[in-house]
Structure formats: C-alpha cells, structure tokens
Amino acid sequence: MIRSAGLCLREMADTVGSARVAALLVLQFVVALLEGLGLVLLVPVIQALGGADRFSVPGLSVELTLTRAFSLVIAVVVLRGLGQWWAMVLAVDIRLATVDRLRLGLIDDLYGSDWTYLAAQRRSEVVQSLTTNVERAQSAVAMVLRLFVGTFVLIATAAVGVLVAPVVGGLALAAVVLVLLLAARSTRGATALGQVMSERIAGFGATVSDSLASARVMRAHGAERAWSELVAAEAARVREVRRTFVARSSMVSSTLGVVGVLAVLVLILIGREVGLSLAELATLLVVATRLLASGQNLLVAAQTFANDVPALEALLTFQAEARQHPEVASPSLDPATVGPQVDREGRRRAVALLELRDVGVTYDGGDLPALAGIDLEVPYRGLVTVTGPSGSGKSTLLDVILGLLRPGTGEVLVDGVAVADLAAWRRRIGYVAQQTVLVPGTVWQNLAWSMQPGETLTEETAWEALRLACLDEVVRGLAGELQAPLQEIAGLSGGEQQRLAIARALVRRPELLVLDEATSGLDAATEAAVLANLLDGERAVLMVTHRAPSDRPGVLLRLENGIGTIK
C-alpha cells in the first residue's frame, strides 16, 4: 500500500508541483498540531469548572489565568478552523486537477495514437476508463490525503495522551497501533476486491454499450427482456463484489470499535489507580476517544484506498500503453527527387492529387493480405468510385486513403510526393462515414464540430454546404433553421441525416471528399442531384459502394479479395 500511496503522491506532484503538495501536507500537519493543542488546553478549562483561579498545562511548566486559558482555547479553535478550511480547499484543487490531468491526458494520448491501435480498443472499455475508473482514481487520491490527515491527527492526539499521563497515554497509543497493525491485513483483501471490481464494472459497461448499439434490432425483435436480463446479471456481479467489500471492511471497523471502547474503559481505570486528577482523567477520556475515532477513520480510509487504487493503476497502465503507439510521421521525399510522372507506356502525365503505387496491407495474424498490389490515381477534380463485395478490402483501402493506416508495401503519394505527415494530409480531406453520427445539439453545432482547427464556420459557408447536399430547404423548414435542435437518432430522416453529414464534411472545404456508402439512404433522384452538385469542379470525390452504376463517370476501381481492377 505504501507503493500505491507514493504513486498517488507522484501523480499529484506531477500535476501541481511538489511544492504545492508539500505545502498541503505541512498545512495538514499544522492543523493536527492545533487540534492536539486544543486537547491539551482542555485540562485548564476543566480545572476552571472546579473553581480554581490559576491552571497548569500538562507536560509544560506553564500556569494560566482563567482569561488567558479561555482566550487560548478560542484562538486555537479559530486558527484550526481556518487551517482546516484552507487545507480542504487546497486538497480539492489538487485532487480535481490531478483527476482532470489523468482523464484529459488519456484522451489526448488515445486521440494521438496510431489508428490500428485506436481502432482495436473496445469503446465500452475506453468509456469505463474515462468515467468509472477516473472516479475511483479520484477516490484513491482523496483517500491518500485522508490517510496523511488521519496519521497526523493520530500522532498529535497520542502526544497529548502521553503529556497528560505518560504511562496511560503510552499504553493507549500502543493499543491503537497494535489493533491497526492487525487490521491492516484486511487492506490486502480490499486491493484484491478492487481488482475484481474493475473487471466486473468493465463487463457491465460492455453489456450496456452492446445493448444500446443493438437498440434497433432489440426493439424490432422484441428482445428487451433478454437484454434486461443480461444487464441485470452483470449488475448483480458488480453488486456482489461491492457487498463483499462493505461486509469485510465494516466487520473490521466494528470489531475495532468494540475493542477500542473496552480499551478506553480499562485505561480510565488504570488512570484512576495511578492517581490522575479529575481534569486529567476527563482529558484522557477525550484523548482516548479521539484516538479510537482517528484509528477507525484511518482504517476506513486505508481500506477504501486499497479498494480504489487498482483503478488508478489501470488508468496509468492504459495511458502508458497508448503512448507506446503514437502516430509517427515518416521521412518525406524531396519533390525534386520524385521526377516526372509517367504511365506504364512511358508517357508523361500530370501529377495526381493522390496516388497509390503497388499498395499492400497485411494485418497481424492474417494469412492473406487485405490489399495486394493496388494502383490508383485520384485526380484533383472528378469522381473515383470504389466497389466490391463485403470483405473485398474496401475498408482497408479507405483507411490507407484517409491517412489512418500506412501500407505494409508500396507507397502513397500526395501531389506527387510520398506522404509523410498524415495529419496534414487528413486536413485536406472531408470524410462521410457509412454510419451517420449526430451530436446532441443544433444543426449549426453538427456542422461546426469538424471544421479545420483555427477556422470558424460562417452562415454563408453553412448554407452553401447545405445547398450542395440538397438539404438547405429542409433546414429552412425547421423551427430555428441553423439553430434548430436535433436529437441523436431523431429529428431528421435517415437520408436527411446522411445529407447533413455530407454538408458537415463540405464546410471543411476539402480537396478530396470521401463518401463511404454515404448515400445509401437516398432515393435515386436525390442521390443523382447531390452527386451532380458535388462534381462541380471544386474537389475530387471518391465514393465507396457495394454496387456502382455502369453509367457513372470517372474512374472505377473494383476490389475482389484485396486485388483491384481499374475499369
């Protein structure tokens, strides 16, 4: 557990700086000392109840008047309150900053990772890492700070007990430490349960995610009950491990409470036998009770920390793994070395916007290549259609064209030069996926989120994109027009959603517009009208489809088992 606590402290120090974390710990220690001082001053306060005019402070050769004693008590209480407020605010700031750094850092590392790695991640597990695991990590950070506070308070309270009655106070401290050491063994079990909890929460999240992804089929087949039972079964597995943790931790805490109360009574009897005064006995009772409460709080914090820290470790492991798969740019070729472009007959030709030369892709563990010997030119203007049956390699080819996947063999040229910076190439592309994704918000928000970094969407650009997608009249008919709110799966028909996605790609002013089955929800007349608008000489259009009409203009590439044929 010490190693895990050190891990939390390092994360906090890396986030806000070691000085700020040290300042928090020092402040918490000072607050604990003030609390201990307040307990020491209980002796003269209780002596005042007996009618004495002057009072002594235990452990110190100091005598106080009634006015000074009460003034000191008030001053200590006020200072301790201010210190507690400051420490709580500082602790919250550090904890939230650390959690935000964990969450946003993981998002940045995932978004900046190689496409093959990112695409292999299960969405539900990523969501669980960014939500449930982050919240449990926040709990672990909070608990490690509480452990320090509890330790400081325990030390300060024990010191007061020793000052009041060295023998009895020492026995009280020894008893609390012994019980805590015996109970500490339960933290190992809490850590194991925390690891199981992470696994079962992941299973629950995956089931919920799959059920939502299957909502249409579920409703069509009347399978709501079957999915509800699956989700309920996973929820029961999570509930079982949580109940086990609470049962074990509560048993240890309750046992410590019973043993502690008995120990306090025994200590009071011992104090009476050694001749402690009433004021000292009363103070010792308060000190022993506070020792017991501090010990219980420390144990609860330790168990909760041990249960939640596996989530923090899982987050850091995931982040380290993502950082091992960055998208790396390869060295670019000097345009002067590329030379004039020639075809197979040796005739000079113009440089294409995008060219694939003998491109091949074989996935890890695959026996056959997904693509083999693909040659394709995409001109600066016009249409390229890619067709082929399912499993023919269309998706892999798209990944290569979109700059998501580097081919294993062959080369990809942009403007006649081997592409090196894939991110820069992607900024010149507009992509419309087969599955339309709308974000909760307005028409404007759904158009604007894919704008080029640093650029701002204007109304003129928005309406022009909607016109090209044959959707401008539909949007003008909505209440609020560009500011009309949309729902994720409602508000527009399937074909209208596809056209909105096309408009969203067009506001980027792409040089290459890639349509991946992006007109499947359109009737023939609307598809023809949209395509005619897109082929206005402002951009190249690459369409991926299972079947291409024979009369479609431009270049036609047919894929079959990863092998391409130009027709």
**Residues 6 or more apart from 234 whose CB is under 8 A from it?**
200, 203, 204, 207, 208
Task: Judge residue 349's burial from the number of C-beta atoms within 10 Å of its C-beta, 0-12 exposed, 13-18 middle, 19 or more buried.
Answer: exposed
Tell me the per-residue pLDDT of 183-193, one tens digit each, with 9 for 90 and over.
Answer: 566 666 777 77
Lowest-pLDDT choice from 52-61, 167-176, 248-257, 317-326: 52-61
**57 pLDDT exceeds 80?**
no
Q: What percent of the chain has pLDDT over 90?
A: 5
**Is residue 347 scored above 50 in pLDDT?**
no
Residue 14's φ and ψ, nearest 5 degrees, are -65, -25
Q: What is the DSSP string of 529-549?
A: HHHHHH-SSSSEEEEEESS--
Query: Interior CA angle at 251 toward 246 and 257, to 5°?
Result: 125
Read off the pLDDT of residues 134-163 as tens digits, 9 standing for 90 and up.
888 888 888 888 888 878 877 777 777 666
The larger pLDDT score, comparing residue 260 to residue 418, is at 418
- Region of poorest pLDDT, from 10-14, 15-19, 278-282: 278-282
376 or 368, greater pLDDT? 376
Residue of 312, 103, 321 lying closest to 194 (CA atoms): 312
C-alpha span between 274 and 256 (Å, rounded): 26
- Does residue 369 sit in helix, strand or coil? coil
Residue 512: its pLDDT value, please? 92
Residue listed under structure tokens 């009433």: 278
CA distance 297 to 284: 20
Confidence band for 343, pLDDT divided at 50, 70 and 90: very low
**Pairwise CA distance, residues 241 & 190, whole Å:** 10
In this prediction, residue 85 carries a pLDDT of: 92
Exposure letters 53-76 (e unless 16+ CB within 10 A, then b): eebebbbeeeebeeeebeebbeeb
The region of weakest confidence among 239-243, 257-261, 396-400 is 257-261
The 3-state DSSP class for residue 354 equals strand
**The pLDDT of residue 463 is above 90:** yes
The tens digit of pLDDT for each residue in 77-92 reads 888 889 889 989 998 9
More confident residue, 359 or 368: 359
Token reading at 101: 């750094």
Radius of gyration of the chain (CA): 35
Give me the helix-helix angle, 224-273 and 166-183, nearest 10°. 160
* Helix locations, 123-223, DSSP H: 123-128, 134-164, 166-183, 185-213, 215-221
**Which residues lie across from 386 on neighbouring strands?**
544, 557
Class of domain 349-566: alpha beta
Q: Over 80: is that where the pLDDT of 365 sits?
A: no
Q: Is 373 helix (H, G, I), strand (E, B) or coil?
A: strand
CA quadruple 108, 113, 115, 118: dihedral positive or negative?
Answer: negative
- The residue-averaged pLDDT of 199-210 equals 77
Residue with tokens 């075809």: 343
Distance, CA of 38 to CA of 538 (rounded, Å): 79
Could you tell me which of 142, 154, 238, 227 has the C-alpha nearest to residue 194? 238
Residue of 537, 531, 483, 545 lying closest to 511 (CA atoms): 537
Is 191 within 8 Å of 307 (Cβ atoms)? Answer: yes
**Which part of the chain has CATH 1.20.1560.10?**
7-323
Tell me what pLDDT residue 340 has: 43
Is the confidence at residue 11, as pLDDT, over 80?
yes
In angstroms, the CA 50 to CA 470 distance is 92
Please check whether the domain covering 7-323 is classified as CATH 3.10.180.10. no
Q: Are 298 and 147 in contact (CB under 8 A)?
A: yes
Contacts of 513 (CB under 8 A, 6+ apart): 429, 430, 431, 432, 505, 506, 534, 539, 540, 541, 542
Question: Three-state SS for 311?
Answer: helix
Over the stretch 113-128, which tens digit does the pLDDT of each residue have? 888 888 888 877 888 8
5 neighbors 305 (Cβ within 8 angstroms) = yes
- pLDDT at position 338, please? 41
Instruction: Convert the pLDDT of each residue in 301-338 to its tens digit.
Output: 888 888 888 888 888 988 998 898 887 755 444 443 34
Among 446, 468, 467, 472, CA closest to 457 = 446
Residue percentage of the chain with pLDDT more than 70: 78
Highest mean pLDDT among 172-181, 405-414, 435-444: 405-414
- Poorest-confidence range of 60-64, 222-226, 478-482, 522-526? 60-64
Contact yes or no for 320/479 (Cβ under 8 A): no
Q: What's CA 83's distance to the chain center, in Å? A: 33
- Where are the CATH 3.40.50.300 domain residues in the chain? 349-566
Higher pLDDT pick, 73 / 161: 73
pLDDT at 48 over 50: yes
Calpha distance 304→187 (Å, rounded): 8
* Beta-sheet pairing, 371-378 with 512-516: unpaired
> Is the separation of the CB atoms in 309 and 274 below 8 Å?
no
pLDDT at residue 349 in the model: 46
User: Tell me, what's the pLDDT at 175?
Assistant: 65
CB 488 within 8 Å of CB 440: yes
Q: Does 342 score more than 50 pLDDT? A: no
Q: What is the structure's pLDDT at 562?
A: 81
Report, as an integer, the average pLDDT of 9-18: 89
| 509 vs 5 pLDDT, higher one | 509
Question: Rounded to the nearest 5°, which phi and psi values hold at 366?
Answer: -85, 140
